[in-house]
């Protein structure tokens, strides 16, 4: 396969975080893709990695200062000559300075001086990534056209586990290649094909209280729903995410936190009327305790009798209330008879698409970063998505959604979104 970045100049920015060691692998992969790589390290990055390593792997010697040679305006030369600027890792400090337009050092001056696409790969502790100031800065950058490769959940510095771990080098390079292929104004993934559309996504498993401290729930992590929201945002959509999880939403999205099926139903019904697309990826409990006590149940009081009642059928309710032109997508997590049960749900709920997955398969479904699904359409279409990342599953689902939106637009050319 031909190198994807042959002849392209890529400025690789590295800032001062522990994830800087991964940037060495990013550099190597970019060179393998045929890119002419110019590494630019901040002074703090040099505390974690050595410039000799990058100089040896890259296409030019490492740069780290506005004053490290006789060239008068190195940032302008770097910015004008770049087909892409990729910053991995991007620390909270870098994101804040970039959002505020502060040219503090060679790398920040370069990203402010360039008109090439810029991709940033945040990496920091969970508390920092979730801080409103950081999220506001990222949102501002996204609005200005900066591409963000979302951090993942995993082991962080100091042994903690959470969201904020920099994406893996292979995923970062794939995202960079997609931006190069799209050219100026392009987006990570399939492009801005959802620009101007409103996408409503649900994620996570509901929790139905048994008493004030216990609940009936399920094993859904919400990762698939959050992946759909992130990819939809990257593809230009205005996203509203209704979630039961503590995972951060994509920059610029409206995130509504809920717990129970009733709370989720209320939030979705309130938002659905303005949505062009509704993706019901949440795992909603089928039953809930009818009259949970207001005080904690005690073992000493004996085994309680818990009377269950059905929770609202949110997907069917959304189907009954949807407006003309809206695309409605449901999810079906099954353990057996996948095709039959998914087809039955597709017909019963009156939706456009059902995304079915067998959660008993290794690596698929709950709490994994990967998934394998079958996408069934009310028009008889069927698409198999083999085991892949949940982001790629999200892209496959949204590819199908875009096809449906296009078909409806052709049938109703006068529709105003």
Instruction: Cite the active site residues.
Output: 218
**Rounded CA separation 263/259 (Å):** 6
Residues 113 and 148: beta-carbon distance below 8 Å = no
**Rounded CA separation 178/191 (Å):** 9
Give the start-end residues of each E strand in 186-337: 198-203, 208-209, 215-216, 238-243, 254-257, 277-280, 287-289, 308-310, 327-334
**Rounded CA separation 65/91 (Å):** 18
φ, ψ for residue 202 (rounded to 5)? -110, 150
- The continuous run of DSSP H or E covering 31 comes out as helix 20-32
- The continuous run of DSSP H or E covering 140 comes out as helix 132-143
**Rounded CA separation 282/259 (Å):** 11
Angle between helices 261-272 and 314-321 (to 10 degrees): 20
Q: Report the DSSP pairing between strands 287-289 and 308-310.
A: antiparallel
- The continuous run of DSSP H or E covering 9 comes out as strand 9-14
Residues 175 and 149: beta-carbon distance below 8 Å = yes
**Rounded CA separation 16/93 (Å):** 9
Residues 239 and 253: beta-carbon distance below 8 Å = yes
**Rounded CA separation 59/288 (Å):** 61
């Amino acid at each position: 396969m031909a190198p994807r970045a042959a002849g392209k100049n890529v400025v690789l920015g590295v800032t001062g975080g522990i994830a800087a060691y991964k940037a060495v692998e990013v550099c190597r992969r970019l060179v393998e893709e045929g890119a002419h790589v110019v590494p630019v390290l901040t002074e703090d990055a040099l505390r974690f990695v050595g410039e000799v390593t990058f100089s040896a792997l890259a296409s030019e010697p490492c740069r780290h200062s506005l004053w490290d040679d006789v060239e008068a305006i190195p940032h302008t030369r770097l910015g004008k000559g770049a087909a892409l600027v990729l910053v991995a890792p991007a620390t909270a400090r870098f994101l804040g300075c970039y959002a505020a337009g502060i040219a503090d050092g060679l790398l920040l001056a370069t990203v402010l001086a360039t008109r090439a696409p810029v991709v940033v790969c945040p990496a920091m502790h969970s508390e920092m990534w979730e801080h409103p100031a950081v999220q506001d800065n990222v949102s501002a950058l996204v609005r200005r056209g900066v591409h963000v490769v979302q951090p993942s959940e995993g082991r962080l510095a100091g042994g903690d586990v959470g969201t904020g771990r920099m994406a893996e080098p292979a995923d970062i390079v794939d995202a960079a290649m997609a931006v190069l292929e799209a050219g100026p104004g392009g987006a990570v993934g399939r492009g801005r094909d959802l620009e101007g559309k409103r996408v409503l996504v649900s994620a996570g498993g509901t929790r139905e209280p048994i008493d004030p401290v216990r609940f009936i729930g399920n094993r859904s992590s919400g990762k698939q729903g959050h992946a759909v929201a992130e990819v939809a945002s990257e593809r230009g959509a205005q996203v509203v995410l209704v979630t039961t999880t503590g995972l951060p939403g994509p920059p610029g999205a409206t995130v509504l936190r809920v717990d129970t099926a009733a709370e989720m139903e209320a939030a979705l019904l309130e938002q659905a009327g303005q949505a062009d697309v509704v993706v019901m990826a949440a795992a909603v409990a089928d039953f809930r305790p009818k009259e949970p006590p207001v005080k904690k149940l005690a073992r000493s009081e004996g085994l309680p009798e818990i009377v269950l009642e059905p929770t609202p059928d949110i997907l069917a309710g959304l189907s009954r209330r949807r407006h003309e032109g809206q695309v409605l997508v449901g999810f079906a997590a099954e353990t057996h008879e996948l095709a039959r049960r998914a087809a039955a749900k597709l017909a019963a709920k009156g939706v456009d698409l059902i995304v079915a997955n067998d959660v008993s398969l290794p690596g698929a479904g709950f709490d994994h970063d990967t998934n394998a699904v079958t996408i069934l359409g009310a028009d008889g279409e069927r698409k198999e998505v083999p085991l892949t990342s949940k982001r790629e599953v999200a892209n496959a689902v949204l590819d199908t959604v875009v096809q449906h939106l296009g078909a409806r637009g052709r049938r109703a050319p006068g529709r105003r979104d």
